[in-house]
Amino acid sequence: MITLAKKIKEEKEKKEKGQGAADSAKTSRVSVRDKLLAKEITELEANLPESCKVEFHDPNVLHKFTLTIAPGEGYWKEGIFIFLIMIPEEYNIKPPHVCCETKIWHPNISENGEVCLSKRAGEVLHEVLTKLREVFAAYLNVREHFVLERGNFCKYPSMSDERNGNAITEDEAALYDRQIRLWGLDAQKRLRASRVLLVGIKGIGAEICKNLVLSGVKSITLMDFGQVDEEDFVAQFLVQREDLGKNRAKSSLQRAQQLNPMVQVTADCGYISDKADSFFKSFDLVVATNCSTDQLIHINEVCHSKGVKFFAADVFGFYGFIEKPKIIKTADNKNASSDGEPEAKRRKVHITETVVVQKTLKRLPSVYFIVKVILEFQRQYDRRPQTVTNPEDIENLIKLRDEVLKELNLNQTLLADEFASHCTAQVSPVCAIVGGIVGQEVVKAVSGKDAPLNNFFFYDGLEGHGSVECFH
């Protein structure tokens, strides 16, 4: 099969027999590289497994050939993977170059197909095939290290290899296979390294928890000071009937952990307002739900000062919203520059501080005004509206609606009275939709794969309609 090797052998025999001085001179011109390859490739073919095949496009060119692997079992069963191996003239001083021509995701193969060779490949080669040099380090790195050695190229991605830095395990690779294919290994690594604080474990909190745990974050802390009540059994699927009256965060812990044993899930029964600012430095991202306006503003400011990403979200009956505070520049006269002009200062804006021009107000979704009314209700009464147990809350909500719309110079007819009957409790389908979008946006923010929403999302469950709005 190896024509050049046979020619060398023939020329050697001719030289020994004294045949053809010209032919002998021709043999002497064969490079050291090709002489080495002639011997080593012969040994390679003698030890080639059935799943692998070496092919030379030009039988007289040994320094460029393809290695085809067709796994008969495991993760890439029935696939065909082609590696182009090129040996430099300086071989064996310089190593061979190996490139995967088949488009494939693998932690040891770059986006342009370059194969990362094992640091221990040389040691493995001497044990397997004595005197084989780096060309077979390349070959056996593909075959032995990936196919036979731990994890296996043809069975599972070898993501635990020390060359991958912040590597993830093979079990994680199998579990997160779909999403790795969707947003890539680097994004999944960033997700895996993220620490999330989730405040409020009511219906929407349970949905967010589920989505983030399944996405594969490093850890998530469930924080809730309250106890499980009857309302939780409508939309909060992480608690059980026997948890009635118990702390909501602790009661949610077991089922949340069962969703993904690879994620560290902990519970914090403390009150968010009692936490010191330094507490938030332990997290990469905070999601706050079921919080008052003052709490949201405080968490927002602390997270901004600590460089922690922040999202706020909540569901009020058939209505829901998500907020990713927008960073804006403001003028601070106390920090004036030498020329007397104030320097720009960055801060985050909250929904209660949004500045919307009159023309824009008229086209905003009604949920925007409903959220403002409910947040004002919570500020005044220090609780969420309960129109079933407290019928007077309907009148109070309508009254607050009038005040909010009047302050905005808008007609009261912009928001019908019926909204007050639809904005209590947490409706399960609405929690699922809003919680799903929160999970999506958190993944974007943490992984860096795409930009998260800018900067509000409002959902109307009665209309089945959601919209993204940007406020300055």
pLDDT at 114: 78
Q: Which residue has the higher pLDDT, 266 or 426?
A: 266
| Range of weakest confidence among 153-162, 195-204, 397-406 | 153-162
- The catalytically annotated residue of 99, 116, 269, 423 is 116
- Residue 277: name the closest of 255, 299, 250 by CA: 299
| Range of weakest confidence among 92-106, 137-151, 315-329 | 137-151
Section 383-395 average pLDDT: 90
> Model confidence at 212, in pLDDT bands (50, 70, 90)?
very high
pLDDT at 266: 97
Give the distance from CA 226 to its chain's centroid. Answer: 31
**Using an 8 Å Cβ cutoff, are 233 and 280 in contact?**
no
> Model confidence at 106, in pLDDT bands (50, 70, 90)?
low
Section 143-158 average pLDDT: 40
With DSSP H G I counted as helix, E B as strand and the rest as coil, what are the percentages for the chain, rounded to 5?
45, 20, 35
Q: In this model, does residue 36 exceed pLDDT 80?
A: no
Contacts of 194 by beta carbon, 8 Å cutoff, 6+ apart: 217, 218, 284, 285, 446
Average pLDDT taken over every residue of the chain: 78
pLDDT tens, residue by residue, 160-208: 444 444 567 778 888 888 888 888 888 899 999 999 999 999 999 999 9
Section 9-17 average pLDDT: 67
Percent of the chain with pLDDT over 70: 72
Query: What 3-state class would DSSP assign to 407?
Result: helix
Indicate the pairing of strand 219-223 with strand 264-268.
parallel
The count of C-alpha atoms lying within 13 angstroms of the C-alpha of 147, restricted to the half-sphere facing its C-beta, is 20
pLDDT tens, residue by residue, 440-455: 999 999 998 888 888 8
- The most distant pair of C-alpha atoms in the chain lies apart, rounded to whole Å, by 116
Pair of tokens at residue 300: 């927002």
> Model confidence at 140, in pLDDT bands (50, 70, 90)?
very low
Whole-angstrom CA distances from 85 to 2, 35, 149, 360, 429 are: 16, 17, 21, 62, 55
Is pTM beyond 0.75? Reply is no
Q: Which residue has the higher pLDDT, 97 or 328?
A: 97
Rounded Cα gap, residues 416 and 465, in angstroms: 17
**Is 154 in the active site?**
no
Rounded Cα gap, residues 322 and 312, in angstroms: 6
> Model confidence at 24, in pLDDT bands (50, 70, 90)?
very low
Give the residue carrying structure tokens 């994890």: 151
pLDDT tens, residue by residue, 364-382: 899 999 999 999 999 999 9
pLDDT tens, residue by residue, 220-235: 999 999 999 999 999 9
Section 93-101 average pLDDT: 77
Residue burial 148-158, b: 16+ Cβ < 10 Å; e: rest: ebebbbbbbbb
Contacts of 237 by beta carbon, 8 Å cutoff, 6+ apart: 206, 210, 255
Section 456-467 average pLDDT: 94
